[in-house]
Amino acid sequence: MARRSPDTVSSGGGTFEIGERIGWAHRGERHRRAPDDPAFRRLRIFVVDPAASRVDGAVAEVPVPFEPLRPGPAGSLFVVVDRDDSVRGADRRPVTYRPIDLDAPRLLITAGADPSPTDWESHQQMVYAVAMRLYHAFRRALGRDPTWAFDRPYLAMRPHGVRERNAWYDRDAKEVVFGYFRTGEGGDRRGAAGPEEWIFTCLSHDVVAHELGHALLDGMRTAFFEPTGRDVLGFHEGFSDIVALLHRFEHRELLRGAIAQVRGRLSGRSVLTSIARQFGEAVGLEGALRHAVGALEGGFEKPATYASDLEEHDLGEILLSAVFEAFERIYRRRTAALFRLATGGSGITGPGALSHDLVESLTESAGAIARQFLDICIRAIDYCPPVDIELGEYLRALITADSDIVPDDPWGYRETMVDTFRRRRIYPRGVPTLSEDALRWRPPQLEDARIRGLEFGELRFGDDPGRAASTEELLRQARLLGDFACDPRRSAAFGLERPGGHGGGLAVGLPVVESIRAARRVSPDGTVGFDLVGEILQEATLTLRSGGRRRRIAVHGGATIIVGADGRVRYAIAKRVGNRERLRRQAEFAIAAMRRGSGLWEADERGTLRPSRSPLRALHARRFAASSEGPK
């Protein structure tokens, strides 16, 4: 959880604290387009990885939102710092490679450097371009500027960070580090790549987008970085894979070629359904790192199912498969008429290539539906609990978020997602039936749910309705939210506990208002919706006996609070810090992780078990090490 401000707020509404993250949204200035600025700059990237064929559209010239750049590239959101910690110069310091200057006239004319495994400046261009495009996809879905989980306006990108079979997002260092390695090192000859081939993770579109998915998710829900159970990190992995895969559908040339190759059918393994193929082969897997159609050869016919003891990446792959199957079904449903028109009513294509017009129409449909699914999956994060997420709760968030923006659901997006999650046995707790009505979050039971001062007419905006006018305005909103939710007469509805001792070794701290953000959503019929999304977290310390010794474990609870344009609390998605069953599960997981030496939990200076500061590096390293031992 973020550090707290030095001020504690006390009023008639109870006592609480304001988290430091509240004001971070106004640290630094995003580039705001001037009237004479171009909308985009054109840059060339690998849209799969260097192993894919350029003939199949694996290299594309893509539009990247424009901003003035310094060499790096270095902009307002991303700064590429090409420092290599594995190579030392004469002064024994890590080497920093020459940065590319994308504002140089030659590169402006040529749409940047030509993508190449041997031109490291083009690697810098690759990570910047993918990062900028993905950031703006999140901005489109959320209706606001996404923020980082640290006190700095930009994220550093290190394309050649370390000679290691790994890539990871590091919140403390405020950076994404991409590893590189040579196949055949250490006697490993199982990979499909040649024994002397260099693999750069920064050249895999999927790896770059996956790691950015982690960073952007962390900015929205910082407590999801806490490995309170396998589902939390499994969700981090699955969500980042979903983002990487669906974002790839925005590359039209690749999409067109792939659809022609698979004859318009997306249910089998192909370049469109594989995550990081070159990387997966290089570390000894039989194909890609993960597959959207499922880990089993049966694919959608016999999908892998959820189990609470599965490894985190396997859980993520099951989540990815559930979402992608829903996408594939909707694509099939919405393109059925195209197939009927192209086949004289039968819907069955004959031998030979599909017609050009059919491929173009299918490409247009697949791209549009993938964009809708990406927006739905990102938008649903605003409807997730603030801590300890379970995969079944993400289904509830998906259903509620989509119901808010498309109440009638004419193509059955929601019922399809419910069915694909059901087929993988991903069930939320406490829901009597997997119907849409039962899955939607409910408003809190309050006599008066309106927060005076948070009505749309009372809010002050900057140059965009998704951005508050100032840090002072965000603090004002946070105080009003805290006053309302932390009032002892209402706090139970928001999952909050009375601070102090609660018996059974549980000591509860003050609630902390961690964030409050705008959410602007445009429905397919053009209707604009506006909400405020806030997080209130509460930390507690649980003391228990394990293995003959006393253990102290830091635990968290709290609520995601969604406030409508009229100031009424629409949803309070709560996880009580005092829920004994949840605390028991978390404690068992943390102690077991410490005993295994997993790197996910560690003891602080007082001996209290706390989440590791860099759980994703440990998680990824463990997975890649297991992969290099050969297929199971």
* Tens digits of residue pLDDT in 580-599: 888 888 888 888 887 777 77
Q: Report the C-alpha gap between 34 and 166 in whole angstroms.
A: 40
Angstrom distances, CA of residue 427 to CA of 349, 415, 463: 38, 14, 42
Beta strands 155-163 and 175-182 are parallel
Q: What is the pLDDT of residue 278?
A: 67
Q: What is the pLDDT of residue 280?
A: 60
How many other CB atoms are there within 10 angstroms of residue 36's CB atom? 5
Is it the case that residue 12 has pLDDT exceeding 80? Answer: no
Q: What is the pLDDT of residue 55?
A: 61
* Entry field: residues in the chain: 632
Q: Write the secondary structure of 43-55 as one string of H (helix), E (strand) and C (coil).
A: EEEECCCCCCCHH
Q: Report the C-alpha gap between 456 and 513 in whole angstroms.
A: 20
Is it the case that residue 631 has pLDDT exceeding 50? Answer: no
Q: What is the pLDDT of residue 620?
A: 74
Q: What is the pLDDT of residue 594?
A: 79
Model's pTM, two decimal places?
0.92
Is it the case that residue 9 has pLDDT exceeding 70? Answer: no
Q: Report the C-alpha gap between 574 and 589 in whole angstroms.
A: 21
The region of weakest confidence among 13-27, 300-314, 483-497 is 13-27
Q: Which amino acid is at 159?
A: P
Q: What is the pLDDT of residue 619?
A: 78
Please, which pLDDT band fits residue 189 given cuts at 50, 70 and 90? very low
The region of weakest confidence among 7-11, 224-228, 560-564, 603-607 is 7-11
Residue 225 has phi, psi (to 5 degrees) of -75, -10
Q: Report the C-alpha gap between 141 and 178 in whole angstroms.
A: 27
Instruction: Decide: residue 321, CB within 10 A, 0-12 exposed, 13-18 middle, 19+ buried.
Output: buried
Please, which pLDDT band fits residue 618 given cuts at 50, 70 and 90? confident
Strand partners, 602: 610
Strand partners, 560: 535, 573
Query: Which pair of structure tokens corresponds to residue 40?
Result: 């985009």
- Given a contact cutoff of 8 angstroms between Cβ atoms, the answer to whether 182 and 146 are in contact is no
